[in-house]
Amino acid sequence: MIVDSSLERIYPDISGNENEIGGTDTVQLHLERYHFAGKNLIPGHIADVACGAGYGSYLLATQYKNGIETITAIDNSRTAIEYAKEKYKDPLINFVNADAMTYQASTPFSTVISLETIEHLAEPEKFIRFFTSQLISGGRFIASAPVTPSMDANPYHFQDFTVSSFKNLFLKSGLTEVSSTTQKQSYNPFGLFKKKKQGRNKGIRQGLGKYYLKHPGKLLLRLQSLFKDGFTNKYLIVIFEKKIIVYSDLSQTDSSSDIFTTAYFFTPLILTSSSTSTTFL
């Protein structure tokens, strides 16, 4: 099958051109996210939502398979799913070509993984609620997104997040934060303004100057980011967990007492606390 990597679709065997705006480490960053997810998932039925070409699902199935019963890998691109079935097939993985917002699993998931997805959605809160509802109690939602501006350069992004705004989306859906990690990636700013773009650079927004004139707030965000972080993109990966409802023994309560309490389910973590942050350079 002939495929081509784009700004929004990575095929590891043909990606990594050093002339691209993100340099040669884009694929490595994606793989590191899946390693982080694999080390912190809850065994059972796993969802890889917006799985793309399937390399991340395959990494989970081959390197973190202990306790994994199935991996449901969902993507809305038929080409990507066909490529995944051909290139990354594994007995644990079920690749599904579907719209994630309408996909209803027959079995609840123990872990939902969705990396570099949320920023593409017009209604991210709806997406998070939908998949949180398909998590078991005590299950985990592992997600990532850029936390430096990206909408200006990337026309496929509908959201610019900060660390707090990204986390709050999940906290408002009733999840709790377990741990997080941050990645950094230097970029070549001159790639933004080349008239003839190649490889993944072809997806970069055309007419960036006109975009800034129409959206001056986005120019301000970019200038603030340059002042703070220089020519560096930052990506946040967070592990969230769904609360468990623990019901009290009704025989030991009276009519005026609460019949249930809320507790949290914590399992051993790779990181030691929710305040721990690891940076991949």
Structure tokens at 155: 């026309």
Superfamily name and number for 12-280: Vaccinia Virus protein VP39 (3.40.50.150)
What percent of the chain is predicted at pLDDT more than 70? 74
Structure tokens at 216: 């001056």
pLDDT of residue 245: 67
Q: pLDDT (tens digit, 9 = 90+) per residue, 47-83?
A: 999 999 999 999 999 999 988 999 999 999 999 999 9
pLDDT of residue 265: 43
Residue 70, beta-bridge partner list: 45
Which residues does 206 contact at the CB level (< 8 Å), separation at least 6?
A: none
What percent of the chain is predicted at pLDDT more than 90? 65
Domain locations along the chain:
12-280
- CB of 81 within 8 A of CB of 97? yes
> What is the Cα gyration radius of the chain?
20
Distance, CA of 193 to chain centre: 28
- In whole angstroms, give the CA distance from residue 243 to residue 1: 43
pLDDT of residue 204: 80
- CB of 147 within 8 A of CB of 153? no
Q: pLDDT (tens digit, 9 = 90+) per residue, 181-235?
A: 999 998 877 766 555 545 555 668 888 889 999 999 999 999 999 999 999 999 9
- In whole angstroms, give the CA distance from residue 99 to residue 76: 5
